[in-house]
A and B are shown apart, each in its own frame.
Chain A
Amino acid sequence: MPNPLYRKHIISIPDFTREELELVVQTAAQLKAAPRGDLLKDRLLATCFFEPSTRTRLSFETAVQRLGGNVIGFADGANTSAKKGETLADTVRIISSYTDAIIMRHPKEGAARVASEFSSVPIINGGDGANQHPSQTLLDLFTLQETQGRLDNLTVAFVGDLKYGRTVHSLAQALSLFGAKFYFVGPEALAMPDYLCEELDERGISYSIAATIEEVIPHIDILYMTRVQRERFDEAEYKKIQGQFVLRADMLRSARPNMKILHPLPRVDEITTDVDATPHAYYFEQAKNGVYARQALLSLVLNETV
């Protein structure tokens, strides 16, 4: 029987079952322990980035090539037919006739879902506006499993931009399938959206709002930091909250030994560089895990069995 992700579009985390998430995480661990150079042999994938990205595109392209596959594509929508006014629907119809799968990033929310309705090959969403970025969540889950030895019943604090941070939303949605407990720490103006809190309520997930990072540190397994974007505030407002949601090494004294700090990167100044040398810092390893999680995802989508 083919694996449940075989030939599936990968658009959004809520589309996944718990078993499918676990399958990707297990496969990523296997590929990290024992690399395979043959799983995408003779496969050609497209990376269509209508919006620029550094890590996501390079990490997908690395994943494809490490698995023995080939890549065509573009890194910026500015020089494509989209610029001439072609619809995404038409662009995808054509590119799907060239390749075995399409990895895409697009500035419009819902772009990957539309693409999946016009593509003859699987669409892998590498980010659609502020909506979803499922491969980031898969690499986050893999990193949680790797550092904590489990996905069930973890206590996670999310810090920073909880309103617009799509990585926060998707990871919270994914972990709600595993019975997590959450702390939300961030400026009031960037609080977790109501509809997500309602989703968590419906699934019986407990969460609380905390005012400072320090107060949650002794209670958590994972500290998930995000960047508070300056452009979301006017200057006076930003000055007021600036520094409030910054993590420094001296704040980690009360942390549990297993506690790890994650960050989807890029980091600006919300984690001071003295944290990097502590045993809790795991964000660079997390970024490296992006390649394994994406290898796992692509292998499962393009092979009946892995």
Chain B
Amino acid sequence: MTEKVYARNVEALKSGTVIDHIPAGQGLRILRLFQLAEYRERVTVGLNLPSGHMGSKDLIKIENVVLSEEQANELALFAPRGTVSVIEDFAVVRKQKLAIPDTVEGIFACPNSNCVSHVEPVQSHFSVRVTEHDTKMKCKYCEKVFSKDIVVDVR
């Protein structure tokens, strides 16, 4: 009996957000960068779950929290095919569309170690541009342009 109840506690979400189809390996990073544990709400993380399309995937459920459109778009940098579902009363009431944002503020550190943003009281700020083969991020301060994967990997 206890086993069954336990399973339901983990899986069912009364209200909150489910972030699904995260590429395997990115789940913990998203948790950390978006400070999802800081809300002091119940967070469930699934790692390396089987997925039909992706082989394996990560998944995050967070109770009583709805991501802003801005946060959802920033998520798209890690999980281009991710889905964000808003749950109310155990039912999906809305799917948030993920679109690569034009700018990203305060989430990533600039990979350029001589960039002034590391030592001054400012938030990091990148403008994002999607090209044919890559997504490029340009730091507002040092004006250096990086491939998205380099920026995302820095911390």
Residues of A in contact with B (beta carbons under 8 Å apart): 12, 14, 87-89, 106-111, 113-114, 117, 128-132, 195, 198
Q: Residue B145 at the A interface, CB < 8 A?
A: yes
A113 contact set on B, CB distance < 8 A: 116, 140-141
Residues of B in contact with A (beta carbons under 8 Å apart): 112, 114-117, 119-122, 131, 136, 139-145
Closest CB of chain B to A11's CB: distance in Å?
9
**B145 A110 Cβ-Cβ under 8 A:** no
How distant is the Cα of A89 from the Cα of B120 in the complex, in angstroms?
7
**A129 B121 Cβ-Cβ under 8 A:** no
How distant is the Cα of A14 from the Cα of B131 in the complex, in angstroms?
20
**A114 B136 Cβ-Cβ under 8 A:** no
**A114 B131 Cβ-Cβ under 8 A:** no
Which of A12, A87, A128, A198 is within 8 Å of B120, CB to CB?
Answer: A87
How distant is the Cα of A129 from the Cα of B117 in the complex, in angstroms?
13
**B114 A88 Cβ-Cβ under 8 A:** no
Closest CB of chain A to B146's CB: distance in Å?
9
With A129-B142, A131-B142, A198-B131 as given contacts, are A110 and B117 in contact (CB-CB < 8 Å)?
yes
Closest CB of chain A to B45's CB: distance in Å?
35
The number of inter-chain residue pairs (CB within 8 angstroms) is: 54
Closest CB of chain A to B119's CB: distance in Å?
7
**A117 B122 Cβ-Cβ under 8 A:** yes
A132 contact set on B, CB distance < 8 A: 143
A87 contact set on B, CB distance < 8 A: 119-121
- 17 A-B pairs with CB atoms under 8 Å apart are A88-B120, A106-B116, A107-B114, A108-B114, A108-B115, A108-B116, A108-B119, A109-B115, A110-B116, A110-B141, A111-B116, A113-B116, A114-B116, A114-B141, A128-B142, A129-B142, A132-B143
**B120 A129 Cβ-Cβ under 8 A:** no
**A12 B143 Cβ-Cβ under 8 A:** yes
With A89-B121, A198-B131 as given contacts, are A110 and B136 in contact (CB-CB < 8 Å)?
no
A87 — nearest CB in chain B belongs to which residue?
A: B120
**B115 A110 Cβ-Cβ under 8 A:** yes
A110 contact set on B, CB distance < 8 A: 115-117, 139-143
How distant is the Cα of A110 from the Cα of B113 in the complex, in angstroms?
12
With A130-B114, A195-B136, A198-B131 as given contacts, are A109 and B119 in contact (CB-CB < 8 Å)?
no
**B145 A109 Cβ-Cβ under 8 A:** no
When A and B form their complex, which 7 residue pairs have the shortest distance between CB atoms, in order from nearest? A110-B141, A109-B142, A195-B145, A108-B116, A110-B116, A110-B142, A111-B116
Closest CB of chain B to A280's CB: distance in Å?
33
Closest CB of chain A to B7's CB: distance in Å?
50
Among the interface residues B131, B136, B143, which one has the most CB atoms of the partner chain A within 10 A?
B143
How distant is the Cα of A86 from the Cα of B145 in the complex, in angstroms?
29
A128 contact set on B, CB distance < 8 A: 116, 142
